[in-house]
Amino acid sequence: MRLRRNLVRTATLVTAVTLPLAFTPPASAATADIPDVLANALSSQVKGKNVKKHLDRFQQIADANGGNRAAGTPGYDASLAYVRDKLRRAGYKVSTTDVEFPVSWEEFSPSVLQQVTPEAKTYANPSDFLTVIDSSGGDVTAQIQVVDAVIPPPPAPNTSTAGCEAADFAGFVPGRIALIQRGTCPFVDKATNAKAAGAAGVIFFNEGQPGRTDPFSFDIREWRFGFPIVFASTAVGLDLADTPGTTVRLKVDAKTTVGQTKNLIADSLWGKKGEVVMAGAHLDSVTEGPGINDNGSGSAALLETALKLAYLPTKNKVRFAFWGAEELGLLGSDQYVAGLSQAERDKIRLYLNFDMVASKNDVTFLYDGDDSDAEGAGAGPAGSAEIEKLFEKFYGKRGLGFKGTDFDGRSDYGAFIAAGIPAGGIFTGAEGIKTAEEAAVFGGTADAPYDPCYHAACDSITNINAAALDRNSRAIGYATAFYAYDLSTIPDRDAASLARSAAATKRAPEDAAR
């Protein structure tokens, strides 16, 4: 019976998708755009009213589970089970990947920082240094190695780039403790580079300008470094850096309790295994509310797209991802990408991200793949500009407005673009304030938040803009279906991998000479 139902569904949808082709006038190969025709036909099947049925279910799940669908809670597990069941019934190959997240961090005794050589000296906690929250526990005695510090400190604040690049650790001796100056990039980036270089611990120190000399407490939001981390005053940092070969003891007595949740991954039965079109949305909410716009809207639209695309034989493999623990720091997508081999990453030709697509006071923001707005993080990896143009084509043909938004790292595309995978997507605004110019184009209320219930209990089924949900769901269906049939504008990932290998081979003799 299931086979019969699936055959009926397939025949019905194939008819709906291919019928427009029967009425397409003869065209030359140069003018025919079959992927566009197919994508538009599929898009017409992804309707807001059907997407809302999934949102209604997410609301029911939240209501039955303490008012939220946060990672690690029964509400999230029930949301995942709902999506998994729908996708399995549609014939997808469904799997999950584990996601770890910090539940709590506890420091059992004050951390210790002592200079062992060339003179014995104990630094005071908390006036000289403080433990970095989420630091791993550990007791290490080792030589200090200064990492690219600007000494004496530069006159302008937020100038030092110490530790921001892997190249800053050239010549770093594994097993030493990295001494890293505060500066332009996040502490987590510095510590990540230190771990890759083999550091046994990290001592950050403040940069040194007025107002930037004392230690302070902060959460590095990464608990898996496996070594102790503290933050010291400028005076302590300069003291430790003063004499080459200084040895210190660094002790942190702390523990992170780790919880676990899951990502849901669904692969289509059709398409080339080495040509993966990936689309994702985070499934979890914050603990404060049911998360129906953030991000039930993106998840529901993606689910409906997957259900409509399930029965169509596509040229390329399509992979749908429903991320866990996004609200805890993009953990689901970060850990997924980190767990892929380079060969598996190279199969992913592009990534489409949909996070909040039905904000009540919405603007249709498209990720600025070509950096035409010249703001923030810059352009995405090669192919991102073409993804942005495809979305612009969809909205432009329908007389709908759109506006660029920066790749600011606030959603799950971050790990993909960091891995060189082109990305794009739709976002309708969070706590930001709509301008008068935006209201003139998109309607709504100027000088008010895009989403008045962002990360709040009122992000419920009443917090959805039905018109935005409908048009953006159709755009999601269009873009996903288009790339399922046509990747001609997206650079080949295998070619990029070969280019990297060739470049590495050319560099090897120079590296050996140095």
- Residues designated as active site: 326
| Contact in structure between 451 and 33 (CB atoms under 8 Å) | no
Q: Is 479 helix (H, G, I), strand (E, B) or coil?
A: helix
Query: Of 135, 131, 161, nearest to 148 (Cα)?
Result: 161
The dihedral through the CA atoms of 122, 124, 125, 127 has a sign that is negative
CA of residue 213 relative to chain centroid, distance: 33
Q: How far apart are CA 34 and CA 40, in angstroms?
A: 10
DSSP letter for 293, please: I
Residue length, the chain? 514
Burial 233-256 (b: 16+ CB within 10 A, else e): bbbbbbbbbeeeebbbbbbbbbeb
Q: How far apart are CA 379 and CA 381, in angstroms?
A: 7
Neighbours of 366 (CB within 10 A): 22
Q: Which amino acid is at 359?
A: S
Say how many Å lie between the first and final Cα of the chain, rounded.
Answer: 69
Task: For Cα atoms 85, 88, 90, give the angle at the middle one, nearest 5 degrees.
Answer: 110
In sequence order, the 6+-apart residues with CB closer than 8 A to the CB of 134 are: 102, 105, 219, 220, 221, 222, 223, 256
Helix (H) or strand (E) holding 263: strand 247-267
Query: Of 482, 403, 401, nearest to 442 (Cα)?
Result: 401
| Contact in structure between 159 and 183 (CB atoms under 8 Å) | yes
Helix (H) or strand (E) holding 122: strand 121-122
Examine residue 193 and say whether the peptide bond preceding it is cis (omega within 30 degrees of 0): no
Q: What is the dihedral of CA 322, 408, 418, 368, to 10 degrees?
A: 90
In sequence order, the 6+-apart residues with CB closer than 8 A to the CB of 145 are: 172, 173, 176, 177, 178, 179
